[in-house]
Structure 1
Amino acid sequence: MTNLNNRKLKIKGLAAIELTLILPILLFLVFIVAEYSRLLYQYNALNSTVRDAARYLIDYGTPGSTNVIDITPELAKNASYLISSGEHQSSNTLLPNLGATASMPADSVTNNYVINETGYELRITVVDDFITLTVIYDWQPVFADLLPTFSSQGSFDLSYDLVVHYTMRAL
C-alpha cells in the first residue's frame, strides 16, 4: 500500500514540474494572441475613422477656382478631430495615444496639410480631384514595449507605426 501512495506522490510531483515548464510558453502564446487581436482591432478602427474623414473632406471640400478641391484649415482640423475621436471637436479619443490639437502647418500653394498630433501624424494631399489621407499611428503594446533577446544584442522593440492610406475621388 505504501508503494502505491509513493507512486501517486511522484506522479503529482511530475505533473507540477511539467506545468511549471509549459505554463510560461502557454502564457506567452496567450499574450501574443491578445496583442495581435488588439492590433487588428485598432487598425480596423483607425481605417474606419480615416475613411470617414476622407468622406467628410470630399463632402465639404468646395472646388476652388481651378477645379481643384479646396481644403481649408478648418476642414483639415475637423478631419483631424474625426480621426482622433470620431466626432467634430470632441475630447474623447477612440484609440490610446490618439489626441487632436489645433496646430497644423499648411501649404497654401499645393493645398496639402501635415498635421502632427499626439500619437499620430495626418497628411492630407490633394491632387486634381483626388484627396489622399495618410495617417501614421504610433501603436503601443499593452503588456511590454520591449522583448528581451537574452543576449548582448539588446531587445526587440514591439511598438511600431500603423500606416493607413485612403484615397477618394471627388465627383
Structure 2
Amino acid sequence: MSSSLTKHRGLAAIEFVLISPLIIVFIAICADIGNLLVEYQSLNKAVRNGARFAVTEIYGTATAVDIAPISEIQNVVVYGTSSGGTEPILEGLTPEAVTVTAPTSIDTTLVVTAVYTYSPTFLTIPFLDIPMTIDFTASAVMETGI
C-alpha cells in the first residue's frame, strides 16, 4: 500500500501545473467578453442619447424637420456633452465616426449611427498574427414630428 502512495505523490501538483495556463486563458477570455459587452452597451447608450438630444434640444419655433446642430449631436455621442470635450466616452471614438441622417419633409425620422472599433485585451492570436478587432455599429431612430 505504501508503494502505491509514493508513486502518486505529487501527481496533483503536476496536474495543476499542466492545467493552470488553460484556466488562466479561460478567465481572461471571460473578462474580455464582459468588457466587450460593456463597451457595446456604452456605444448604444451614447447613440440613443445623441438621438434624444437631437430632437429635444431645439429652441424657438420648430418644424418637423428641425434638429439640433449636427456637430453638437456628434459631441453628445462621443463626449456626453454638446460642447465637446477632451476625453471620449469610449477610447478611440471620434465625432467623425458618428453620422446623422437628418429628417426631411417626407420622412420625419432622424437616424444617428456610430461605428466603433473594439480592441480586445489580446490584440492578436499568438503565433498567427490574426487581428482580433471588432467593428461595432449602433443606430438610434427618433421621430421628429407628428
- Percent identity over the alignment is 25
Residue 45 (structure 1) aligned with residue 21 (structure 2): no
With a CA cutoff of 8 Å and minimum separation of 6, indicate the structure with the bigger relative contact order: 2
1:29, CA displacement in angstroms?
0.8
Residue 136 (structure 1) aligned with residue 136 (structure 2): no
Residue 17 (structure 1) aligned with residue 14 (structure 2): yes
Query: TM-score normalised to the size of structure 2?
Result: 0.81
Query: TM-score normalised to the size of structure 1?
Result: 0.70
In structure 2, the gaps of 5 or more residues are none
Residue 125 (structure 1) aligned with residue 101 (structure 2): yes
Counterparts of 2:13 and 2:58, CA distance in 1 = 66
SS in 2 for 1:146: coil
Q: What is the aligned length?
A: 141
Q: Which stretches of structure 1, 4 residues or more, deviate above 6 A after TM superposition?
A: none
State the match for 1:110 in structure 2: none
User: Are the counterparts in 1 of residues 102 and 110 from structure 2 also a CA contact under 8 Å?
Assistant: yes
Residue 59 (structure 1) aligned with residue 59 (structure 2): no
Counterparts of 2:110 and 2:94, CA distance in 1 = 23
Give per-residue Cα distances to partners, 1:35-94, cap 9 Å, x unaligned. 1100111111111111010011112357xx9x652456xx21111111112122222222
State the match for 2:74 in structure 1: 80
User: Are the counterparts in 2 of residues 61 and 69 from structure 1 also a CA contact under 8 Å?
Assistant: no
State the match for 1:112 in structure 2: none
1:166, CA displacement in angstroms?
0.9
Counterparts of 2:36 and 2:77, CA distance in 1 = 17
RMSD over equivalenced CA pairs, Å: 2.8
User: Are the counterparts in 2 of residues 137 and 163 from structure 1 also a CA contact under 8 Å?
Assistant: yes
